[in-house]
Amino acid sequence: MAKQKFDKNLISIAVGVSVSICSAPARAAFDAVAPDPVAESSVAPPLAPDAMGHSAVAPPVAPSAPLPGGANAGAAVPASSSTNAHSPATVAPNPAENEALIQSNLKHDLGAVSSLSLPGWEAQSPVWTTRAKGALIAPEGVVVSDAVGASRPLLLEYGCTDFVSKSFRRESILCQVDLYHFAKSDGAYGAYSTLREGSSNIVLRGQASSEDDNCICFWKGNVFAKLKANVENDDEAKEALTKLADDLVKRVEGNGELPMALRVLPSFEKVKGSEKFFMGTEAAHRYLNVPFVETLYLAGSDGAAHADYQFASPISERLGLLVINYKSPSLAQASFKSYVDNITAMSNKVLQRTENEALCRVSDSFLMCQLNGQRLCVISGARKKFSPAMLARQLH
């Protein structure tokens, strides 16, 4: 009876609070609110300097290629289109802004995190944020960790719908449980790949997991979780984190598939643990050392995967492979042209160029950009001219 009463109260609190968070006029938001990259207007975003410090040239857009988040600005709707030619172009709904989904996710996450316990430890009541109109908003008076605030633009890009946190304290030891929920499993994996800590576990916790002395992370379905202690090499703290992680993963519902772009990465000579998944330029700028990445229209793709490859002797060099799956061949073609044109405009040397492949000299290394239908790959960091082609052949 007591458990039934607790569950009923928890559901009422979760639903009621999530509604009030989204509708109350007085709100405490994270840093400056940035536009939601998934729901951008049809006008291309301003370009930031590339990883080498150059200012990129505004990318040309093919007439048949839609810009990220919508149709071409000022472009006529083709007669064959199912869209009414007299109707304005519309932006596809962003699932991360679905109010019913947000409330459902928050209810699930509050239940999962609230039920965690550590006998002999002092537990803090859960704190949370939810998504509303392209922002992650906390209830008035609630303070979230600095780490969450700093990661806010990246979380929005991955489609985060809510964040729930709970801490446990015993004397000077503090264990923090952070759970992030996303609209899609791709976003949850992307957050895991970029925000996780430690080395990958041999024995999985969830669908992917990693840990070190004071941190355990895992990905399962639409959830990314990070559990961290404020001390290192402490047996009591590690035991507590392990118990909390094992309990939490059982309470997280659902499973998801690895993103498609990640599944096509060659396994031969891939550096284990180097894989990362991107859904826009915010994460790519943080974690990629690829020039002119902002001209690749990542926000208009179905996702991009990157990994490092270590060639053994006698070649002995390390390359980076970025694979992007676009929503249409025309958008992939426009991205290819935009990318290679920017490299050319910055006085870097294009050694070979065809309609679907370009080999360039960028600074002191070689870079290859290759187009294959809706897929675009960029191989960077090669010291030898023939190395990119050797890696590219593994993709077919």
Instruction: Write the pLDDT tens digit of every residue in 226-284.
Output: 999 999 999 999 999 999 999 999 999 999 999 999 999 999 999 998 999 999 999 99
**Residue ranges covered by each domain of the chain:** 27-33+96-251, 260-395
The mean of the pLDDT values for the chain is: 79
User: Within 13 A of 41's CA, how many CA atoms are on the CB side?
Assistant: 7
If DSSP codes are grouped into helix, strand and coil, which group holds residue 20?
A: helix
At 258 the pLDDT is 93
Domain 260-395 has CATH 3.90.1150.10: no
At 38 the pLDDT is 32
pLDDT tens, position by position, 12-62? 444 444 433 333 332 333 332 333 333 333 233 333 333 334 344 444 343
- The model carries a pTM of 0.77
Structure token pair of residue 353: 């160029």
Tell whether omega for the bond before 63 is within 30 degrees of 0, i.e. cis: no
For 96, 200, 258, 288, 322, the CA distances from 275, given in Å and listed in that order, are 24, 11, 11, 11, 10
Q: If you average pLDDT over residues 310-338, what whole number do you get?
A: 91
Strand partners, 220: 223
pLDDT tens, position by position, 109-123? 999 999 999 999 999
DSSP 284-302: HHHH---TTGGGG-GGGEE
CA 250, 253, 257, 259: dihedral to nearest 10 degrees?
Answer: -100
Q: Is 223 exposed, middle or buried (0-12, 13-18, 19+ CB in 10 A)?
A: buried
**Sequence-ordered list of residues with C-beta below 8 angstroms from that of 192, at least 6 positions apart, any chain:** 208, 217, 218, 219, 224
User: Within 13 A of 309's CA, how many CA atoms are on the CB side?
Assistant: 24
DSSP 209-234: EEEETTEEEEEETTEEEEEEESSSS-
Q: Do domains 27-33+96-251 and 260-395 have the same CATH topology?
A: yes
At 83 the pLDDT is 35
At 102 the pLDDT is 95
Mean pLDDT is lowest, of 16-20, 129-133, 189-193, for 16-20
Q: If you average pLDDT over residues 144-163, what whole number do you get?
A: 87
- Amino acid 203 reads V
Reported as a pLDDT band with limits 50, 70 and 90, residue 150 is confident
Give the closest residue to 195 by CA, choosing from 178, 207, 172.
Answer: 178
- We find that the CATH architecture of domain 27-33+96-251 is 3-Layer(aba) Sandwich (3.40)
